[in-house]
Amino acid sequence: MGEARARRRRSRVGLAWLLLCLVLAIHVAEEAFTGFLPAYNQTAEALRGLFPFLPVPTLSLTLWLSITIGLVAFLTALAPFAYRGFAIMRVATVGLSLVVLANVTGHVGGSFLAGAPMPGVYSTPLLAAAGIYGLVVAWRWEAEVARAFAGAAPVPPGERGGA
């Protein structure tokens, strides 16, 4: 029974990772269709005007799409490692979840400051849900791994405090 539970935990981290990648792909597509790049380039130029020492690049559509599609493809290619339970993927899931949640904050905050929806803001609920799910799954996996190393028996789901 312990092995089956561990396999389910690894599977959940893999699922969380794939969900993060899928939602990130949806978000990139939304940004591409709603004019994110011109808004980004204007912001980059304004930042360079205010802070000349900041190396903020302006991007062409081809370069931006190449970078974002390549990044999403690379992250998706790491999914088998998450499904196999590699410990570094728990750390990566936490990191990607935090980056996704920071992106949500930027889009929602920018929309409030601008007084209008920013390009990419409509997919932020999906990003937020995937980011929170990734954090929860990675946190639970960490607790189970720590108990296993300590020699403690896994805590039954009904006896978990707060989760």
pLDDT in tens, 95-141: 999 999 999 999 999 999 989 999 999 999 999 999 999 999 988 86
Domain count of the fold of the chain: 1
Residue 29 lies in a domain: yes
How far, in Å, CA of 133 to CA of 121, rounded?
A: 19
3-state secondary structure of 75: helix
119: phi then psi, degrees, rounded to nearest 5:
-60, 130
Residue 160 lies in a domain: no
Query: 2: closest CA among 147, 135, 123, 114?
Result: 147
How far, in Å, CA of 13 to CA of 64, rounded?
A: 29
How far, in Å, CA of 89 to CA of 106, rounded?
A: 25
Residue 155 lies in a domain: no
Residue 158 lies in a domain: no
Residue 18 lies in a domain: yes
How far, in Å, CA of 112 to CA of 6, rounded?
A: 43
Residue type, 34: T
Tens of pLDDT along 50-74? 999 999 999 999 999 999 999 999 9
Can you tell me which residue has the tokens 């980011």?
131
To the question of pTM greater than 0.75 for the whole model, the response is: yes
Note down the domain range covering 22. Answer: 2-147
Can you tell me which residue has the tokens 């899928």?
22
Residue 79 lies in a domain: yes
161: phi then psi, degrees, rounded to nearest 5:
-80, 115
